Amino acid sequence: MQGLSDRLRLASRRDVELRVRDLLHFYSKEYGSAIFVGERTYTPRSLVLTQGFIESDKLGLVLRSVLFGMYQVPIIVVTGLGGLHYVVDGHHRVIVYAWLGWRIPGLTILVPKYRPKLAKSIIELDSVNPVDTPQELICWRHIVNTVRFLEKQYNTLARIWVETISITLLKPTQPPIPGPEPHALSLHCPPLIYKYNQEYFVIDGHHRICREVLSSGKEVKALVFTIGNLEIGLLKTARMLGYDEFNEKYCSGG
């Protein structure tokens, strides 16, 4: 993507195909046998990850690109010892597809003797925050960090989707915070909303929603998620605060 560092460059399908060719050569020498069996689709939760950590800003970029940029590139899967399916390229994409509940395409290599040094589930994979995150990805990094934190806390994978919601249905989870507007680039991030039963709680993006309220907006396009439809602790705190809706009084500082 233009303006972003090489670390954040998203792989193209051609990149992945070239990587498969290199891996076939490497695995043939290392394990004696490696066969490309074609492109298959997988349930992300069934895959074993072979990387120690993922970068939060890149995870946010992939989430944004898949949802709003038509980014669709297969991962690379090695079917190894015991018939397990190991991800060797595309860990960020696996997490995003797991969140969205989509099956993910994978270029698949059969290496019967393959067993990685490291094997983790999606929940177990750690996240890091690189120091060179560009400003345009700060809010997306915050979104995925919030979701990953709650996943770890409740040991349950999130389910994420995009939804246009009437502002009258939204509930704040923090007191009114009068003050400066957020950075202009964050206004291009969708609010992050937690759905519990039929209630919508704003986790991040109170300023953005108030901008809509104060300009007579009626609805917002938001990133909605749930963690197994659990009543997370923040919702209980929000109810104790007693702010039930976004209105002019709330958005003007209470």
CATH number of the structural domain spanning residue 166: 3.90.1530
Task: Check: CB of residue 253 under 8 Å from CB of residue 210.
Answer: no
What is the pLDDT, as a whole number, of residue 252?
A: 84
Give domain status of residue 152, yes or no: no
What is the pLDDT, as a whole number, of residue 176?
A: 86
The verdict on 122 and 164 lying in the same domain is: no
Q: Which amino acid is at 32?
A: G
What is the pLDDT, as a whole number, of residue 243?
A: 86
Residues 6+ apart with CB under 8 A from 9: 1
Domain extent for 60? 6-126
The verdict on 29 and 117 lying in the same domain is: yes
The verdict on 113 and 168 lying in the same domain is: no
What is the pLDDT, as a whole number, of residue 180?
A: 53
The verdict on 239 and 176 lying in the same domain is: yes
The verdict on 218 and 116 lying in the same domain is: no
The verdict on 83 and 165 lying in the same domain is: no
User: CA angle, 9 as apex, 147 and 227 as ends, to 5°?
Assistant: 10
Task: Check: CB of residue 147 under 8 Å from CB of residue 225.
Answer: yes
Structure confidence by residue, pLDDT tens digits, 167-185: 999 999 999 876 555 555 5
**Any idea what the CATH number is for the domain that residue 73 is in?**
3.90.1530.10
What total number of domains does the chain contain?
Answer: 2
Using CA atoms, how far apart are residues 190 and 223, in angstroms rounded to an integer? 6
Task: Check: CB of residue 80 under 8 Å from CB of residue 115.
Answer: yes
The verdict on 192 and 120 lying in the same domain is: no
Give domain status of residue 133, yes or no: no
What is the pLDDT, as a whole number, of residue 39?
A: 98
The verdict on 169 and 117 lying in the same domain is: no
pTM of the model: 0.93
What is the pLDDT, as a whole number, of residue 183?
A: 56
The verdict on 103 and 38 lying in the same domain is: yes
Using CA atoms, how far apart are residues 75 and 49, in angstroms rounded to an integer? 11
Residues of the chain with pLDDT under 70: 1-3, 178-187, 254
Give domain status of residue 94, yes or no: yes
Nearest to 170 by CA among 230, 138, 217: 217
Give domain status of residue 1, yes or no: no
